[in-house]
Amino acid sequence: MQKMHVSQNRWLLSAKMTAEAEVLLFCFHYAGGHAGIYRDWQKKLPVQIGVCPVQLPGRSNRFLEPCYTDLSVMIRDLAEALLPYLNRPFAFFGHSMGTLVSFELARYLRKHYNLKPQHLFASGYHAPHLPDPGEAIHHLPDQEFLEGVRTMNGTPKEIFEDKEILDMLLPTLRADFTICETYRYQEEEPLEFGLTAIGGWQDPDFSVTHLEAWADHTKAAFQTYILEGDHFFIHSHQDQVLTIVGSTLQNYLAGYRGIG
């Protein structure tokens, strides 16, 4: 069994847990990504929403730490690391691999700690009970694997423009794809909180069916949004994503305060 012992503060990058933050938004990055992709979100969201980007090992300030390849071990360690911060209302936002991580983390917290987020934003990822629409590539030789990553448009193109950086990131990319491609969904009761699924029209692996099937995973309110852009609409159409996130959480806060 894979085991990791990591200090808790390394999991969170520039988290905004101020007194004004009435709900904490934990954000989970995509395969090959890092928590820095959410660094500017706090500037564009109300102060009542505290943005907490989650940093997985093997990248950025955690570059020297080994990556996870076993999702169940990652979720266990992640839950333990975040638990001290879940003493106020919180929500999850994940993009691509980050959606899978946040979904399984929500189920783990329900099972082991009787905790739940106020909302889950599932961005750029098919409903987990459906087969992965892409072909598995994590096991291929380096060049074939990287070519597969490139053609899937699942990693920012800038990474492929610098061979030195690409070589450094190769183990992280392979580990992240291993996490996603070896995932096996286990059926559980639907979640008891609201869920918003977001997709991009030009994402090569996108279909409306993949997005709408997320409805099977909640007993509460469910919404879908289809934006322009490819897999990385989270960057190209960031303002629209933030409008969805901000309005959804502000509606929750209004209800929590008994407004409206």
Residue 179 lies in a domain: no
Mean pLDDT for 208-214 is 95
Closest by CA position to 191, among listed 167, 216, 217, 170:
217
> Which positions ≥6 away from 203 have C-beta within 8 Å?
124, 153, 229, 230, 231, 233
159-208 pLDDT tens trace: 777 788 788 889 999 999 999 999 999 999 999 999 999 999 999 878 89
Compute the distance between CA of residue 135 and CA of residue 171 in angstroms, rounded to an integer.
Answer: 19
As a whole-number percent, the residues of the chain with pLDDT over 70 amount to: 93
pLDDT at 34: 93
Say which of 7, 14, 96, 102 is annotated catalytic.
96
Please tell me the pTM assigned to this model.
0.91
Query: Is-catalytic flag, 236?
Result: no
Q: Is 134 buried (19+), middle (13-18) or exposed (0-12) by CB count in 10 A?
A: middle
Q: Read off the CATH number of the domain in which 41 is found.
A: 3.40.50.1820
> Is residue 78 over pLDDT 80?
yes
Q: Which residue has the higher pLDDT, 60 or 74?
A: 74
> Is residue 4 over pLDDT 50?
no
Residue 57 lies in a domain: yes
Total structural domains in the chain?
A: 1
Residue 152 lies in a domain: no
pLDDT at 156: 64
Compute the distance between CA of residue 168 and CA of residue 183 in angstroms, rounded to an integer.
Answer: 25
Residue 121 lies in a domain: yes
pLDDT at 206: 81
Q: Which residue has the higher pLDDT, 37 or 142?
A: 37
Range of the domain at 226: 23-131+188-255
> Is residue 71 over pLDDT 70?
yes
Residue 155 lies in a domain: no
> Is residue 12 over pLDDT 60?
yes
